[in-house]
Amino acid sequence: MAVSACVALVACACGPGKSQEDAGAKPSQPSASTPAKEPSAAPSVSARTGKPSAPPAGDQLAPRTKEGAIRRYEQYLHALGREDIDTVCEVAGPAAKKAQDEGFGPCTSTYVAVFQMISPAQKKALQTATVDPQRIVVRTPDKIEMPVEAVRASATFSESDLGSYTLEYLKKDWYITD
């Protein structure tokens, strides 16, 4: 139950996202002239740059469709499982702005606690989680509800573990707003 409360609070405590990401984007790969570094087993928040890990989509529009919202939410779930604070805070930006205005700390500080409250099995399950399109609720073309029951993963999540979210189409992409 504590994890759900923190996830709900933190989803609202992230800084606002300014860049648009391709919902299906993968983290950028080093160029041929730059040697690749092995990723660490435990990501360090202090090493983060504050920028999203996926490359910005530029002027490309993210699909303003149910499928586009699902891809964006899956991006968030996978980032949560990888402890990718930059992507988590980018996707949850509008909800974060509200929470920060209400006195909560910045997303990059608050999610550290959330990451520690998610079990290793749940983190692993989130990295490959998908969303069942039959279980989401399209409120308007710009607003979609993602109930926890729609998350398909190798671990079970309840409302108290993960929670349900609202995604809205803003600034050419889908963002968690509640």
**Between these two residues, 16 and 74, which has the higher pLDDT value?**
74
Q: Which amino acid is at 158?
A: S
Judge whether 47 and 128 are in contact, CB under 8 Å: no
- How far is residue 33's CA from residue 140's CA, in Å, rounded to a whole number? 47
Q: Which of 19, 16, 17, 18 is nearest to 58 (CA)?
A: 19
Among 59-63, 105-109, 146-150, 169-173, where is mean pLDDT lowest? Answer: 59-63
CB 91 within 8 A of CB 17: yes
pLDDT grade, residue 60 (50/70/90)? low
Relative to beta strand 143-146, strand 165-170 is antiparallel
Mean per-residue pLDDT, 143-171: 94
Mean pLDDT confidence for 55-63: 57
pTM of the model: 0.69
Q: Are 20 and 90 in contact (CB under 8 A)?
A: no
Q: Taking the mean position of all CA atoms in its chain, how far away is CA 97?
A: 15
Paired sense of beta strands 165-170 and 151-152, if any: unpaired
Both structure tokens of 142: 């710009």
Using CA atoms in the order 83, 86, 90, 96, what is the torsion angle rounded to 10 degrees? 80
